[in-house]
Chains A and B, each alone.
Chain A
Amino acid sequence: MLEKLLSGPKTYYLWLLFLCGVIACCGLVYINQLLNGLGITGMNRDVSWGLYISQFTYFVGVAASAVMLVLPAYFHHYVKFKRMIIFGEFMAVAAVVMCALFIVVDLGQPQRMMNVMLHPTPNSVMFYDMIVLIGYLCLNIVIGWVTLEAERHQVNPPKWIKPLVYLSIIWAFSIHTVTAFLYAGIPGRHYWLTAIMAARFLSSAFCSGPAILLLLILLVRRLTGFDPGKEAIKTLTTIITYTMCINVFFYLLEIFTSFYSNIPGHMEPIRFLFCGHGGHMAWVSYFMWAAVGMAFLSLAILIPPQTRTGSLMPFALIILVIASWIDKGLGLLIGGFTPNMYEDVTPYMPTLQEIAVALGVYAIGALVLSLLWKIALGVKRDVGNFCD
């Protein structure tokens, strides 16, 4: 199936060339980081994790979200999703690759990363996170490739793939639960020390991941003519709407517990995120309020059936993705480290170089995704499973 990569319009090659260019430029910034250390980032002694780890967390969610297509299709035999599943699985592959890279760029001594395997430590959540991510990557590569190969030969996929698919559904929940446990089991970080963290992670993943997938699919429809089917889009949008409602609801639960209990430690991170410190708004506060606005606006568009299926739907999905990204990609880490261990505020803002390295990882993810989707689209076109 790899031959599908070798033919395509000029724009396809230009896109790959563009991505390679971005990767090369950002790679240079990463080399600078390797030589001069993580001092080039905005992280500091008190805010010791930043943009890299938050992007890792966000994309674990994107990876897990493939299950929102796989579960209805395999557990409920919802056949309308079948045409689109492969794109979810391949997006999961690209997302896990990005997760791994975000961890690597965050390490102070990346050449020692195999120590995690050489000295397996069952009491560390990071050990399990490594296992579940590698497992999920393998599952999705195998399942995606084998089912696509079967589709190409127009035969049913081999029977042994079914148990793997069922396993991957449960596995998807596990990857984001374990990622939440990285945060939720730490004493003294008030914003993270909450039992609902894993549930919040899953709900935010299950709205933002499918939203990203659907937006990309809509883009692909415009570019190539591939159509997942009206009904499939409609169902996926409904799933996104429900999970976004749950996501917002879970966040409000956090706010209730923090403020009704009136425990300072629980209130302070949320206060900092939305109101800043010492009478001054923090830069992240503007983002947080923007996220609140976008979250509710997206729901206002997605909840009424007329607008959910209307032309505003892609716009609603875009602001939904931005809102969930601010919550998880900025607020989660900054709120966790502010106030710091001395109940004081140490500001953090990612530096341009840090953002460049993160963009490089994004570009690698986009490259992996583009290549895998190119194969999938090629096969679907060949066998006539391209549009209605």
Chain B
Amino acid sequence: MNANRRQFLKVASLSAMALSSGMSTLCASEALAQIAPGRYEKGEKTRKAKRWAMVIDTRKFSGEKDYAPLIEACHKAHNVPNIPGDKNIKWFWLDSYEHTFPDDMNAHMSQKIAKAVYPLLCNHCTNPPCVRVCPTQATYKMEDGIVAMDYHRCIGCRFCMAGCPYGARSFNFSDPRKHLPDPVPNPTFPTRMIGVVEKCTFCAERLAVGKLPACVEASMGKILFGDLNDPESTVCKALASNYSIRRKPNLGTQPGVYYLI
């Protein structure tokens, strides 16, 4: 073996070792630190709160047609597909009083209330069972009370769907992109992939750029959104001066969505 060849082999094996061991990642650690969580700061326009909450004034809605623009706004903003059948994706949807508040039914209640439809969405609970059961922290609670999801970490075990007492979670039984138009309604919001769970995000991505949630914006003041920890917020004032109910309050989850009836 001549000297040149030996030299080449030495260099080659050393560099192979450096590449395969952690040495190369040491060099990249600076770049990694720059994208690590915690380095992010909230933008100037970001709406901030200690505990986001929603108050839906159901008295101001007269039926399904009043809710239709809200559903459309939500589903367009988040590229939510409409899949016929029992494997649908639901972020913001309507149901009867009986199904929305099953513990609050009686046969003699006001027909107007009993016959009306009510909007349903993720309650962004203070004690969310979905976060408790998720084995990968793909569902987590943010510091402002929003229950958020990492679609890239979700393994699709659907424990959160069993855990959620509100049926607020949907699983992508098929490829959702097949049910969306091309181009998608909102190219700035990611579409999901097959095999992961998804749900309403309280529009965390819109709050981050200073906008209100899509449904709130489309409701023209009929849905209030604000900080529960701020007594001066519109939600606190509305709750203080009106009778409100929440879905299944006896389970101790402390939903963040209130209904004025």
Contact = CB atoms under 8 A, between A and B. Distances in A.
Interface stretch (A115-123, A211-219, A352-360, A373-381): A115-123
Q: Which of B133, B134, B162 has the most CB of A within 10 A?
A: B162
B157 A126 contact: yes
Nearest to A40: B173
Interface stretch (B210-218, B223-231, B246-254): B246-254
Nearest to A187: B251
A336 B162 contact: yes
Nearest to B166: A341
Contacts of A185: 133
A118 B155 CA distance: 12
A62 to B, nearest CB: 22
Contact of A115 (B102, B131, B138): B138
A68 to B, nearest CB: 30
A342 B155 contact: no
Contacts of A342: 95, 99-100, 102, 167
A108 B172 contact: yes
A189 B164 CA distance: 9
B66 interface: no
B133 A124 contact: yes
Nearest to B89: A45
A356 to B, nearest CB: 17
Contacts of B253: 187
Given A108-B194, A108-B195, A109-B156, A37 B172 contact: yes
B135 A126 contact: yes
Nearest to B120: A342
Contact of B162 (A39, A49, A118): A49
B158 A49 contact: yes
A186 interface: yes
Contacts of B196: 108-109
B25 interface: no
Nearest to A343: B102
A124 B134 contact: yes
B96 to A, nearest CB: 8
Interface residues of B, number: 48
Contacts of B252: 187
Residue with the highest number of chain B CB atoms closer than 10 Å, among A39, A108, A113 = A108
B163 interface: yes
B158 A48 contact: yes
Nearest to B157: A107
A353 to B, nearest CB: 13
Contacts of B131: 123
Contacts of A37: 172-175, 194-195
A149 interface: no
Nearest to A36: B174
A108 B132 contact: no
Nearest to A337: B162
B182 interface: no
B36 to A, nearest CB: 15
B124 to A, nearest CB: 16
A188 interface: yes
Interface in A12-37: 36-37
Given A37-B174, A43-B173, A125 B133 contact: yes
A113 B90 CA distance: 25
Given A123-B132, A125-B133, A186-B133, A112 B173 contact: no
A45 B84 CA distance: 12
Given A112-B153, A187-B251, A48 B161 contact: yes
Interface of A: 36-39, 41, 43-46, 48-49, 103, 106-110, 112-113, 115-116, 118-119, 121, 123-127, 130, 182, 185-189, 336-337, 340-344, 346
14 contacts: A107-B155, A107-B195, A109-B154, A112-B153, A112-B155, A112-B156, A115-B135, A116-B136, A116-B155, A124-B159, A185-B133, A187-B251, A188-B251, A342-B167
Q: Which 10 A-B pairs have the closest CB atoms?
A: A108-B156, A108-B195, A188-B165, A341-B167, A342-B99, A44-B86, A39-B173, A126-B135, A343-B102, A48-B161
